[in-house]
Structure 1
């Protein structure tokens, strides 16, 4: 009789064990704000804890609220995206971290949502903007002058290539061949202008890798702004660029000839190189901080989404610059291709163009005169 009474009890226990096996018990990740030191938090997410909390509060109005118990909260979505930008890989996030235990589809959705939020004009224009009044222009110019002794500079310009996966060959909107750059890999050619603090004050990430730097500059909204500024008589504001760019009064490039040390021309070229190196440093800091932009990572997304990810990383880069967040050390970065290509235009082409077409290209001739005037007034020993 006792054995018969125990049969239903054993059956109920077996059913309970089966139900427990089938029941999904999610693992609760640790909170990185509590479990990581400040240095390790920056290593994993590139932002400090305080700056990350500020970012979450900034993005919250532009992100979807949590609707279900299984939804990722906004904090987790932001941390997932930051870790992905920093590492350039899904692997550290998907089930491999005690701080972010997230499936790959959830990672993809989080990256898309955070990237779109960072591209919102209200956020993007707050963190990436070219000086638009004389107070801002004078502050940038003074900073360059104090740090490098080169008068009049308000920015350094160059382009950098961000590698992308080969676009579909049948895509009429993004033909595959247009994305093959001079080094024979697919990329987005991104124009950057930085200030003396390595903050990016203007960018253009809309052009494929085969596009020449000068072509992108010709379609930049900064060029007409500077042209109008100089036309109004304010000629003490200009950018520094390499020989890929046309010489103008508002964009000065190097003299190509080799000059003897101590000559004004030699002094000008030396000061130009020492000042314009800021843009190379800026690009290195950007890609060292957000490894997803490095050549060997390769953005496995369509060009339009790649452009948005580049914009998002630059917004975060400027945040880090303004809040003095250190760049994580990595000894493996010594031989990395940072995607910048040396100018291949010849200054003699500019000079010959000026001699042959001076009547139809007065801006080039005026640029030559302005550069000469600057050299004689500021670089004579």
Structure 2
């Protein structure tokens, strides 16, 4: 017998009326397909996801063999995962409603899982070999003679050249340092373009562990090279964080960063420093003779 909470006749008992409150809720609808984001204007699409529509679809097809197909009807499809990841890379924040790409919302935990999956796919050896090229063999390294240019906050090594502090004007050391500063300025500006396109790697962002940060930077570099190969322009997305603007301005106008920590090492007790100094001295002479 059922007891009515209010006045009036007591409803008749029936199996249907007894079980009605315990009926299972219908399954939530499947995520909206990719067609909705593709309906926005080309410039707005690039502003949100940094890649064009065509490049995004090509990327989805390239990543498809690397990711498991959805099993349940409520699983996110690959296109939604890629767009969600691109959106996070673009803005570098969970606070923006990243999940609105398909007229539905994604929880932050879901976004984190999706970004981890796509980032792992972008970091597979085949993707890195295809879109990021470094000299890998001994012959290629000898041919390119790659040296890293760093400020005085780094130690001098055979592969890492630092400027020469307090070099006399019009000296071989001063000539080398001026060239070093110009080269480093190119590097800083290149990083600035990368950070403009993908704000998640700007200086003030926190990308969890160093391993996660490295994977995301690799993924953004791959996407950046994809965009550059397609001659995709970078839209005006507003100013970079103040931290990066300060670094870029210093690199363009100062031979050394004022706040750099100069490494204090003694050549006598450090064989790596001795070798780095010898290589830098040879480079100084070669640049001076070839001026």
Give 1:117 shift. 0.9
Q: For residues 321 and 339 of structure 1, do their structure 2 counterparts lie closer, same or farther at Cα, with a shift above 3 Å needed?
A: farther
Determine if contact 2:37/2:45 at 8 Å carries over to the other structure: yes
Give 1:254 shift. 1.5
User: Which structure shows the bigger proportion of residues in strand conformation?
Assistant: 1
Does residue 1:70 correspond to 2:84, yes or no? no
Q: For residues 243 and 287 of structure 1, do their structure 2 counterparts lie closer, same or farther at Cα, with a shift above 3 Å needed?
A: same
What's 1:345 paired with?
Answer: 262
What's 1:59 paired with?
Answer: 63
Give 1:65 shift. 0.5
Q: For residues 244 and 331 of structure 1, do their structure 2 counterparts lie closer, same or farther at Cα, with a shift above 3 Å needed?
A: same
Q: For residues 39 and 363 of structure 1, do their structure 2 counterparts lie closer, same or farther at Cα, with a shift above 3 Å needed?
A: same
In structure 2, what is the Cα distance between the partners aligned to 1:62 and 1:107?
A: 19
What's 2:164 paired with?
Answer: 255
Q: For residues 337 and 100 of structure 1, do their structure 2 counterparts lie closer, same or farther at Cα, with a shift above 3 Å needed?
A: farther
Give 1:277 shift. 1.1
What's 1:330 paired with?
Answer: 237
In structure 2, what is the Cα distance between the partners aligned to 1:304 and 1:358?
A: 29
- Match of residue 372, structure 1, among 255, 260, 284: 284
Determine if contact 2:194/2:221 at 8 Å carries over to the other structure: yes
Give 1:23 shift. 7.6
**Over residues 318-354 of structure 1, what are the superposed CA-to-partner deviations in whole Å (9 max), with x where a residue is unaligned?**
32233333233233426244796864225xx46xx34
Q: For residues 55 and 26 of structure 1, do their structure 2 counterparts lie closer, same or farther at Cα, with a shift above 3 Å needed?
A: closer
Determine if contact 1:94/1:100 at 8 Å carries over to the other structure: no
CA RMSD across the alignment: 3.9
What's 2:253 paired with?
Answer: none
Secondary structure of the structure 2 residue equivalent to 1:109 = helix
Q: For residues 263 and 52 of structure 1, do their structure 2 counterparts lie closer, same or farther at Cα, with a shift above 3 Å needed?
A: same
Q: For residues 266 and 358 of structure 1, do their structure 2 counterparts lie closer, same or farther at Cα, with a shift above 3 Å needed?
A: same
- Match of residue 192, structure 2, among 278, 284, 289: 284
**Over residues 13-52 of structure 1, what are the superposed CA-to-partner deviations in whole Å (9 max), with x where a residue is unaligned?**
xxxxxx9x97855684672563122221111111122221
Counterpart mapping for 1:262-301 below 5 A: 262-299=170-207, 301=208
Give 1:68 shift. 2.4
In structure 2, what is the Cα distance between the partners aligned to 1:113 and 1:313?
A: 14
**RCO comparison, higher one (Cα < 8 Å, 6+):** 2
Secondary structure of the structure 1 residue equivalent to 2:234 = coil
**Greater shift in the superposed pair: 268-277 or 325-334:** 325-334
In structure 1, what is the Cα distance between the partners aligned to 2:96 and 2:50?
A: 15
**TM-score using structure 1 length:** 0.57
In structure 2, what is the Cα distance between the partners aligned to 1:334 and 1:360?
A: 36
**Is there any run of 5+ residues in structure 2 with no aligned partner, and where?**
1-22, 248-256
Determine if contact 2:160/2:276 at 8 Å carries over to the other structure: no
What's 1:43 paired with?
Answer: 47
Q: For residues 122 and 335 of structure 1, do their structure 2 counterparts lie closer, same or farther at Cα, with a shift above 3 Å needed?
A: same
Give 1:59 shift. 0.7
**TM-score using structure 2 length:** 0.72
User: Which structure shows the bigger proportion of residues in helix conformation?
Assistant: 2
